[in-house]
Amino acid sequence: MSSLDFSTKIGSKRFSNPIFTASGCASSGQELAQFFDLSEIGAVVTKSIMSKPRLGRPTPRMAETPSGMLNSIGLQGPGIDVFLEKDIPWLVANNAKVIVSIAGETVDEYGVLARRLRAVSGISAVEVNISCPNVENRGQVFSCHPDTATAVIETVRRNIGGELPIIAKLSPDVTDIVHIAESV
């Protein structure tokens, strides 16, 4: 029996340990529940959710490499309505700490998603996937520029309300990630 305390905090929220799923790797956690009790990990980070259902990219969209895999799923998902109706209640019923990942094509879409999540119980934090293309700005990725990264995070912060921590999911595909991280 260990007396070590592995708990960690993000903002005002405490998690039993720092082991979180990676967004997208296990959708909303149901696939993992057959292997372990979801309440035993720090949190389930959901697949990034968008306003409307999305089919994602056509296959093939994954490739194995000598050092891992590459994917280009295209943010396939059910949209926020189905997610709130089915996935959140299931996660809460299974005692999972939930970090909801959101993604958008416009700054306004992030704001709409944040407003939809503001009154939902059972959410411990929001991950803002800003490694998405900005359709309003010729498809440039939000997280590749400090101004657009900041605009998205500020919009989410204004619309989420309350004490939910906001986690910016940055793209590693930039020349100076530190500058972008500091801007958000």
The phi and psi torsions of 32 (rounded to 5 degrees) equal: -80, -25
Q: Which two tokens stand for residue 4?
A: 């070590």
Q: b/e per residue, 19-52, with b = 16+ CB within 10 A?
A: ebbebbebbbbeebbeeeebeebbbbbbbbbbbe
In SS3 terms, 105-169 reads as CCHHHHHHHHHHHCCCCCEEEEEEECCCEEHHHCCEEHHHCHHHHHHHHHHHHHHHCCCCCEEEE
Active site residue 132: yes
Distance CA 99, CA 82 (A): 17
Q: Scanning the structure block, which residue is given the tokens 């299931």? A: 90
Catalytic residue among 132, 144, 151, 170: 132
- Catalytic machinery residues: 132
